[in-house]
């Protein structure tokens, strides 16, 4: 196992097992679905985030999985103008919106699959499935909120 994979796992185990399990499985599924994307890991103040970028740059990331103390969310990072016929996207951000995942299986439901495909198709940097993606630890915040509910 590569060093970045080991470090990512050390970040995950600080969460409740259910939250870590959903996050771990969701990242795995998206890595399988988007093998040409780099997975950019940010262990931030508020959350652990894994962004999927077609060129390795944060600003080009299309999707993200974010773990919080009580839940895991799928973020659409270029959601402006994304057609959401089932009104699944939460938030009022001008660019990013999210869906709270009950399990990684949610990623395979037709409405969420359609949103993911639309996000990939409309990405500002084209996704190239032939590109070799990597898992990259981008930053670890020195100060962090607790990773488990108080």
pLDDT given for residue 109 in this prediction = 98
How many C-alpha atoms does 15 have within 13 Å on its Cβ side?
24
* Long-range Cβ contact pairs of 78-87 (< 8 A, separation 24 or more): 78/119, 78/122, 78/123, 78/124, 79/119, 81/122, 82/115, 82/118, 82/119, 82/122, 83/118, 84/115, 85/111, 86/111
Choose among 99, 98, 96: nearest CA to 80: 96
Q: CA-to-CA distance for 131 and 75, rounded, in angstroms? A: 22
Looking at residue 85, what DSSP letter applies? Answer: T
pLDDT given for residue 94 in this prediction = 83
The pLDDT tens digits along the chain (150 residues) read: 699 999 999 999 999 999 999 999 999 999 999 999 999 999 999 999 999 999 999 999 999 999 999 999 999 999 988 999 999 999 988 899 999 999 999 999 999 999 999 999 999 999 999 999 999 999 999 999 999 998
pLDDT given for residue 1 in this prediction = 61
> How much of the chain is helix, strand and coil, in % rounded to 5?
30, 25, 45
């Amino acid at each position: 196992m590569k060093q970045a994979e080991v470090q990512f796992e050390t970040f995950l185990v600080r969460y409740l097992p259910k939250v870590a399990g959903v996050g771990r499985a969701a990242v795995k599924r998206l890595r399988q679905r988007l093998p040409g994307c780099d997975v950019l890991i940010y262990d931030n103040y508020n959350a652990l985030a894994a962004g999927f970028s077609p060129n390795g740059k944060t600003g080009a990331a299309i999707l993200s999985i974010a773990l919080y103390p009580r839940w895991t969310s799928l973020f659409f990072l270029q959601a402006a103008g994304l057609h959401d016929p089932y009104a699944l996207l939460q938030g009022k951000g001008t660019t990013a919106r999210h869906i709270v995942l009950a399990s990684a299986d949610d990623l395979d439901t037709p409405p969420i699959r359609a949103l993911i495909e639309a996000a990939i198709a409309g990405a500002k940097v084209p996704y190239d499935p032939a590109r070799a993606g990597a898992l990259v630890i981008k930053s670890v915040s020195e100060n962090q909120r607790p990773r488990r509910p108080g």
